[in-house]
Amino acid sequence: MARGPLSLSLLPWVFVLCAAPLPTWAYEGAVRHDEPADAGIHVPVLTRAPELLHFVDAVYPEEAKALQLDASVKMAITIGADGSVTDVQVLEPAGHGFDEAAVAAVKQFQFSPAEVDGVPAPVQIEYVYNFRFTLPPDAGTPETDGGVAVDAGVPTSTLTGQLIARGSRHRVQAALVRCGDDPDAAEALSDEDGRFTLVTSAGGCDVKVAANGFQLFQTHEELPPNGTLEVRYFLMPEVVGYQTVVRGQREKKEVVRRTLERQELQKVPGTFGDPVRVIQNFPGVARMPFGLGQLIVRGAAPDDTKTMFDGVEIPLLFHLGGGPSVVNAEFLDRVDFYPGGFGSRYGRAIGGIVDVATRKGASDTWHGSVKVDLLDTSVFLEAPVVDGVSAAVAARRSYVDALLPFVLPEDPEGGTLLVLPRYWDYQVRVDFGAKRGEDLVPGRPQNRFYVMAFGSDDTLQVVATGGGRNRDVSLDVETLFHRMKGDWTWRFGKMTSVFAPYAGYDKAGLAFGEADLDLDRYNLGAREDFELDLDEHLVMRAGFDLQFQHLVAHGEVPVVSGFQVRGWPGAEPKTEMEDFERTFNAFDGAGYLEADLKFGPFSITPGIRASQSRIHGQYRHMEEPRLFVRFQPTDRFALKASAGLYTQPPDAATLEPAPLGSPFLVHEKAFQTSLGFEQRFTDAIHLDVTGYYNRRYDLIVSPGPIEVHPDGSREEFQYANEGLGRAYGLEVLLRHDITERFFGWIAYTLNRSEARRAGSPRDYVLTSFDQTHILTAVGSYRLPWGFEVGARFRYVTGSPTTPLVHEYDQYSAETNRFRVARGEPNSVRQPPFHQLDLRIDKNWLFESWTLDTYVDVQNVYNAQNVEATYTDYRGRVEYEVPGIPILPVIGVKGTF
């Protein structure tokens, strides 16, 4: 039983390539068309920090005034989604009435709303309220000028400047700048651009700068009489390493949504600093051979999991040949990974969903990075353009194709095996929005816009020549895509609307022997997501998702039944070729509705998604009900469950008339269920355990039925909805969140993936995507002096394969090739996979930029893992294809 097709749907005509001699691969790839993670506990990402808009002076305590005392009260302030202060807790009491006075004043503060994952949300920050005692003017003290104490007859001076975070050049706001320790010393607060101005007596000034999250800055300045001294101070962050800024958590509804944040994404060993590759280290995700970028999620075929970029579907998430993701690490805001049971907002997938989100460009000043290693070079730049407009741009180009031939193993009999990938990608984003704080005017809607263009191009060449192969093999694959997307976010009160139109172009090419096949796809679409937060018990969400595709397939392939010039056995036959060009249109429109119902510790999310499709002139309609239930009796423990129907439409090309397709195909379907629990042991350590059972049916398999007409003619269809599948297992994730020095996790998956054909006497058998045991351990530790070390270990059960059973040669004169005799399908396994990867980073923090060097070593002890097998042309001997040997990648990255 074969499941269909290559990435980007290289059309059902691929089957005609079977007329050409091919090596027999033990690993069954996709023949059909076409969570970083939180273990159920979301690690939110602060996309917009709160800003103090309204300050209230505290009433100076009478007791402290009588004693002429100063004080600093450190507090934890909880800021609501509307920017108001909802709770204040004193962390470091000062006594003498200072604590009560500070709390009373802070409760009257007004902030701009913080945004978590782009949505207004409550957060908690640390704040220091400073009390400085000064005697009234009539007490014989020096006269004051603008509230700043100065000695009578002593000339004044002005100290003005800007506060900048050392190493990153971010502006430091709300920092306290003082001149000396005297109670009547001059002081000032920095604004949103980090600028400050204070007036004090001329002469020596012991400057002290205190800011949350930064070490105390001290220096001495000589201030000129009746003059101005302008300075720039670079403040050292308290922790140059892992930090979690947001303590609040976004509401959950999915049973498993795993989210990684930027600091965590770039430090996982074995990923070369690539953010999205981290997904491959979490429960529910099996290994692809050779480290290829396709995702096998809960035993489903790679094409059953869809990848999104800022909510827009893209044909691939990783560059071919095991390369990095198509997203520059600096451009990324977060990665949401749903291994199953995702909400009604997503569709057209019966596996999982990966949604990569980019971030807005900097609004304070220019920032950027340059990364160079042995695989590729990337550049990132972000900056404000004009007031209310910011931009970010990234680009990357590889040269791994020039280096891989030096590390790939040679054939023991003198042959060569070359895997030569080459890729580039780019992202450009321009944001438009109001000035800071202007979107807080009561009764006025908030509007934000951005326009984004992104794309990627991959070329992968595989060449096998000489040695014991008996036949040279050459394969060329190209995948290219471009997208242009707009995004308009509108908020008014408790309503939020996000409208996102997009357009794009995809190109896929395959050249094998004499055959050459290309597919051009033109995409138009739009999304609308609307949310209404009625009260604490009810949140409603609704929207639509429209997609139109125009496909043009063209190329040169062997005729389905043409003349073939026979050669000696094993030699390439000469086949008659034909040119072709076909066009297809496909439209899929879907609407969804879901609600979050909350009653004490219970939350229930019912939802439904309905779609209407017109694919290659045929209509299809589907409804997909889904339900999520969560019971959280305490802050540290929760039970969760889900059930839902998920469907995936057939590709337009598969609906071709026979013999190239089957016009009667319907949606593939999966009924997904899960049950699990979450347990948080400490603020940083938590456990997630989820069991799942997925029943898949109406899967598209090949070959299709044979229809005999009354006149005796036969019509052979290429496909049929006769595939049945089931996957069940257990996912365990023990995770240590980002802290000052450490992050890491242990992930284990127990999975069983089986399939059969409806009406077949054969029972369920293992699929080629079954990997029963998957264990991954990841950890990274921050050492002194800017060093960081990390390790990743993986153990994976070998993939199922069909054994070679060679009793005698089987030669077919009709096809001029030998037949390969095999035993029971997927009845044996390849050897287990195991590998250790290490990463060492060294960080240098300069005044206005940061330098990071790293060594990322894959397969430290050079394990000889078998990734695939193939036979000689007679089917007598099976050859093993090893994975990549020990591979050290040295890189350097500069950030400013």
- Name the DSSP letter for residue 230: E
pLDDT higher than threshold 70 for residue 462 = no
Question: Under the phi-then-psi rule, with left for phi > 0, alpha for psi from -120 to 50, and beta for the rest, what region is 602?
Answer: beta
Please give the average per-residue pLDDT across 642-661, as a whole number: 91
Please give the average per-residue pLDDT across 163-180, as a whole number: 85
Q: Is 43 within 8 Å of 260 (Cβ atoms)? A: yes
Please give the average per-residue pLDDT across 104-124, as a whole number: 80
Right CATH number for 258-358 from 1.10.540.10, 2.170.130.10, 3.40.50.720, 3.40.50.300?
Answer: 2.170.130.10
Q: What does the pLDDT read at residue 465?
A: 57
Q: What is the CATH number of domain 367-559+572-895?
A: 2.40.170.20
Please give the average per-residue pLDDT across 779-800, as a whole number: 90
Please give the average per-residue pLDDT across 512-534, as a whole number: 88
* Angle formed at CA 888 by CA 883 and CA 893, multiple of 5 degrees: 130
pLDDT higher than threshold 90 for residue 773 = yes
Q: What does the pLDDT read at residue 273?
A: 65
When pLDDT is cut at 50, 70 and 90, the band that residue 717 belongs to is very high
Pick the residue with more confidence: 308 or 514? 308
Q: What does the pLDDT read at residue 442?
A: 53
Q: What does the pLDDT read at residue 405?
A: 63
Pick the residue with more confidence: 260 or 867? 867
**CA-CA-CA-CA torsion sign (851, 50, 363, 502):** positive
Q: Name the percent of the chain lying above pLDDT 70.
A: 79
Q: What is the CATH number of domain 28-235?
A: 3.30.2420.10
234-277 pLDDT per residue, tens: 988 875 443 333 333 344 445 555 555 555 455 666 666 676 77
Q: What does the pLDDT read at residue 239?
A: 55
Question: Under the phi-then-psi rule, with left for phi > 0, alpha for psi from -120 to 50, and beta for the rest, what region is 18?
Answer: alpha
Q: Which residue has the tokens 């997925």?
A: 694
Beta strands in 466-514 (DSSP E): 473-492, 495-512
Please give the average per-residue pLDDT across 664-676, as a whole number: 95
Q: Is 649 within 8 Å of 615 (Cβ atoms)? A: yes
Please give the average per-residue pLDDT across 414-434, as a whole number: 78
Q: What does the pLDDT read at residue 66?
A: 82
Please give the average per-residue pLDDT across 658-680, as a whole number: 93
- Closest residue by Cα to residue 273 from 204, 207, 324: 324
pLDDT higher than threshold 80 for residue 747 = yes
Q: What does the pLDDT read at residue 29?
A: 29
832-858 pLDDT per residue, tens: 999 999 999 898 888 888 898 989 888
Q: What does the pLDDT read at residue 269?
A: 63
When pLDDT is cut at 50, 70 and 90, the band that residue 388 belongs to is confident
Pick the residue with more confidence: 441 or 644? 644
Q: What does the pLDDT read at residue 494?
A: 86
Please give the average per-residue pLDDT across 674-684, as a whole number: 92
Element (H, E) at 754: strand 742-757
Name the residue ranges covered by the structural domains of the chain.
Answer: 28-235, 258-358, 367-559+572-895
Give, in order, the Cα–Cα distances in Å from 697 to each of 7, 125, 642.
22, 50, 19
- Closest residue by Cα to residue 260 from 339, 368, 332: 332
When pLDDT is cut at 50, 70 and 90, the band that residue 419 belongs to is low
- Name the DSSP letter for residue 844: E
Q: Is 837 within 8 Å of 888 (Cβ atoms)? A: no
Q: Which residue has the tokens 């972000």?
A: 382
Range with lowest mean pLDDT among 200-214, 565-579, 746-760: 565-579
Question: Under the phi-then-psi rule, with left for phi > 0, alpha for psi from -120 to 50, and beta for the rest, what region is 43?
Answer: beta
Q: Is 399 within 8 Å of 406 (Cβ atoms)? A: no
Q: What is the mean pLDDT of the chain?
A: 80
- Return the SS3 of 222: strand
pLDDT higher than threshold 90 for residue 690 = yes
Number of helices (H), then strands (E), belonging to the chain: the values are: 4, 58
- Return the SS3 of 558: strand
Which of 115-129, 309-323, 699-713 has the largest mean confidence? Answer: 699-713
Q: What does the pLDDT read at residue 148?
A: 45
Q: Model pTM?
A: 0.76
pLDDT higher than threshold 60 for residue 53 = yes
* Angle formed at CA 853 by CA 848 and CA 855, multiple of 5 degrees: 165
- Name the DSSP letter for residue 66: H
Q: Which residue has the tokens 């469950």?
A: 641
CA–CA gap between residue 353 and residue 609 (Å, rounded): 16
Q: What does the pLDDT read at residue 867?
A: 77
Element (H, E) at 423: strand 416-433
CA–CA gap between residue 46 and residue 23 (Å, rounded): 51
Which of 327-341, 434-448, 870-884 has the largest mean confidence? Answer: 327-341
Alpha-carbon torsion angle 708, 709, 714, 717, nearest 10: -80
Q: Is 567 within 8 Å of 609 (Cβ atoms)? A: no
Q: Is 781 within 8 Å of 795 (Cβ atoms)? A: no
Q: How many Å is the Cα radius of gyration of the chain?
A: 31
Q: Is 122 within 8 Å of 88 (Cβ atoms)? A: no
When pLDDT is cut at 50, 70 and 90, the band that residue 332 belongs to is confident
CA–CA gap between residue 858 and residue 891 (Å, rounded): 14
Please give the average per-residue pLDDT across 727-734, as a whole number: 94
pLDDT higher than threshold 90 for residue 724 = yes
Burial of 414 per CB tally in 10 Å (0-12, 13-18, 19+) = exposed
Please give the average per-residue pLDDT across 793-809, as a whole number: 87
Q: Name the percent of the chain lying above pLDDT 90.
A: 31
Q: What does the pLDDT read at residue 10?
A: 35
Q: Is 249 within 8 Å of 44 (Cβ atoms)? A: yes
Buried b (16+ CB within 10 A) or exposed e, 502-511: bbbebbbbbb
Please give the average per-residue pLDDT across 318-339, as a whole number: 79
Q: Which residue has the tokens 């077919």?
A: 812
Cis status of the peptide bond prior to 405, with omega within 30 of 0: no
Please give the average per-residue pLDDT across 698-702, as a whole number: 93
Q: What does the pLDDT read at residue 134?
A: 66
Q: What does the pLDDT read at residue 608?
A: 96
Q: What does the pLDDT read at residue 267?
A: 60
Pick the residue with more confidence: 140 or 160? 160
When pLDDT is cut at 50, 70 and 90, the band that residue 670 belongs to is very high
Range with lowest mean pLDDT among 74-88, 365-379, 412-426, 656-670: 412-426
